[in-house]
């Protein structure tokens, strides 16, 4: 039997011994017949509220009571849970809770989702739970799916660990190495956190994990190398969002576990520097951000007007751009809109009216009614369960969709394909101001998939070897498949930000 007690089982004052013990911890948990997790602050009443609460308030108290457990706040928790084959739970009364094999993760998520369906509004439910003060299930991160997988990609691993507490940077990196594919790095792990991040990231890239390329940079998150370009209101909003997200560092990654394998990995180089073979999306000839009106439906009106300047009144191109690449509708939902003759004709009429007024006197207020009609015809204002299970595409952009794009749903680029020379519009997350994003090259991470999507929609924007933005919904807009080798610097990876 092994008994691990934080900072007692591992002697802090003997560094060589500490390093040997910590490096062995992952094997101990993986090989154990079972792991008994002692939730010292969870009593029988909390479990009773979760399972049998008579009111919604009681059940949500049960949910937050479990999620607030101190055990979930530790950086080692993630490694212990992911690597354990058979976790069991003991509560504050020293009672082993029967039939719980995942530290209540399934139960709290099931209750939360049931209450969400009953209330119909995630913001009301989060308000009831006092999210920010309390932890709710999604604040814990994708622990359940990571436990099943036993290893996670670098981006997801960092997202899970960044906000949790630990004694030192070295502990953080050991915990990180305990759950990503490579267990060690080439050479000795650097004592400099930025260099250690790069060492682990490159080791992950070598094994086909390209998630480090998609992380929001240290400078984007207010780091020491650059001044974050957006407004103070946007920075404050991002900080508030991060605090409300508990132990999940949504501002750094938020994509969830990736699937697939990079198509051109075998032709890429990783040492001494990164030289990756990537698919060319195109040259960025336009970059814009709008932080003044980030709420629907005004934001849709701005976006639709911008897209029209590139597609013209071509209904098919306009709807595919708006639906698939800007609002993340699945292909089936987009084609359903285009196959509806009445909807197609009405969209055609609106686009022609708008386009014929280009350059003439008009304002957004004049277009507002037809803009709402247009959004409805494309299906952005209602739930389309094949695309978004619980909310409309517009609401999704105001929630997780916006987070995926740097908490700014007003960022757009246009990229000109080097093959067919057509220009297509994409939504992007900017790591630099639009003036620096302009002139970059957009590349697709061919073969890498995002959360079960069948289309390869992940990409990066590169300028002078620096990643200046990321693409999440950049599905293919043409048949061209040009590739080239790209030199990439990873000097600006994020740093951990433990929750207060």
* Residue 486 in this model has a pLDDT that exceeds 90: yes
Kindly tell me if the per-residue pLDDT of 336 is higher than 90. yes
- Kindly calculate the radius of gyration of the chain based on its CA atoms and give it in whole angstroms: 24
pLDDT class of 361 with cuts at 50, 70, 90: very low
Closest alpha carbon to 105 in 123, 121, 94, 89: 89
CA gap 472, 404 in Å, rounded: 7
Short-list 154, 274, 270, CA closest to 209: 154
> pLDDT for 175-230, tens place per residue?
899 899 887 788 888 999 999 999 999 999 999 999 999 999 877 654 433 334 44
pLDDT digits (tens, 9 = 90+) for 105-126: 999 999 999 998 888 778 899 9
CA distance 498 to 168: 11
pLDDT category, 150, cuts 50, 70, 90? confident
Q: What is the pLDDT of residue 326?
A: 94
pLDDT score, position 235 = 52
pLDDT at 168 (0 to 100)? 85
What are the pLDDT digits (tens) for 384-394?
Answer: 777 776 778 88
- The CA-CA-CA angle for residues 423, 220, 135, to 5°, reads 110
Alpha helices in 282-433 (DSSP H): 298-311, 315-320, 331-339, 341-356, 364-378, 393-398, 400-404
Q: What does the pLDDT read at residue 387?
A: 74
């Amino acid at each position: 039997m092994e008994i691990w007690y934080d900072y007692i089982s591992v002697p802090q004052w003997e560094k060589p011994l500490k390093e040997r013990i910590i490096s062995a911890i992952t094997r101990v948990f993986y090989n154990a017949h079972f792991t008994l997790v002692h939730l010292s602050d969870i009593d029988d009443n909390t479990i009773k509220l979760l399972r049998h609460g008579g009111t919604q308030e009681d059940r949500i108290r049960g949910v937050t009571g479990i999620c607030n457990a101190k055990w979930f706040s530790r950086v080692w928790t993630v490694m212990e849970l992911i690597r354990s084959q058979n976790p069991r739970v003991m509560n504050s009364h020293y009672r082993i809770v029967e039939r719980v094999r995942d530290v209540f993760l399934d139960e709290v998520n099931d209750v939360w989702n049931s209450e969400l369906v009953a209330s119909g509004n995630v913001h009301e439910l989060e308000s009831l739970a006092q999210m920010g003060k309390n932890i709710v299930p999604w604040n814990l991160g994708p622990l359940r799916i990571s436990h099943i997988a036993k290893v996670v990609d670098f981006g997801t691993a960092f997202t899970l660990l960044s906000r949790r507490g630990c004694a030192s940077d070295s502990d953080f990196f050991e915990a990180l190495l305990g759950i990503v594919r490579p267990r060690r790095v080439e050479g000795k792990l650097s004592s400099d956190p930025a260099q250690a991040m790069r060492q682990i990231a490159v080791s992950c890239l070598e094994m086909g994990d390209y998630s480090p390329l998609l992380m929001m940079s240290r400078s984007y998150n207010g780091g020491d190398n650059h001044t974050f370009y957006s407004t103070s209101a946007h920075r404050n909003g991002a900080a508030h969002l991060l605090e409300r997200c508990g132990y999940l560092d949504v501002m750094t990654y938020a994509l969830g576990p990736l699937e697939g394998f990079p198509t051109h990995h075998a032709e890429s180089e990783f040492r001494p520097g990164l030289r990756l073979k990537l698919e060319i999306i195109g040259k960025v000839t336009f970059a814009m951000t709008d932080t003044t009106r980030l709420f629907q439906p005004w934001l849709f009106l701005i976006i639709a007007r911008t897209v029209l300047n590139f597609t013209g009144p071509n209904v098919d191109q306009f709807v595919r751009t708006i639906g698939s690449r800007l609002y993340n509708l699945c292909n089936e939902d987009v084609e359903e809109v285009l196959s509806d003759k009445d909807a197609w004709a009405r969209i055609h009429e609106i686009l022609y009216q708008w386009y014929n007024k280009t350059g003439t006197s008009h304002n957004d207020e004049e277009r507002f009614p037809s803009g709402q009609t247009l959004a409805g015809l494309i299906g952005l204002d209602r739930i389309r369960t094949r695309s978004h299970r619980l909310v409309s595409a517009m609401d999704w952009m105001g929630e997780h969709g916006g987070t995926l794009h740097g908490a700014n749903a007003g960022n757009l680029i246009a990229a000109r394909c080097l093959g067919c020379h057509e220009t297509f519009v994409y939504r992007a997350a900017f790591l630099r101001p639009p003036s620096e994003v302009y002139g970059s090259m957009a590349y697709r991470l061919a073969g890498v998939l995002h959360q079960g999507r069948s289309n390869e929609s992940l990409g990066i924007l590169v300028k002078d070897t620096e990643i200046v933005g990321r693409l999440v919904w950049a599905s293919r807009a043409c048949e061209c498949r040009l590739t080239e080798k790209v030199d990439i610097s990873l000097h600006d990876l994020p740093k951990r930000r433990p929750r207060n």
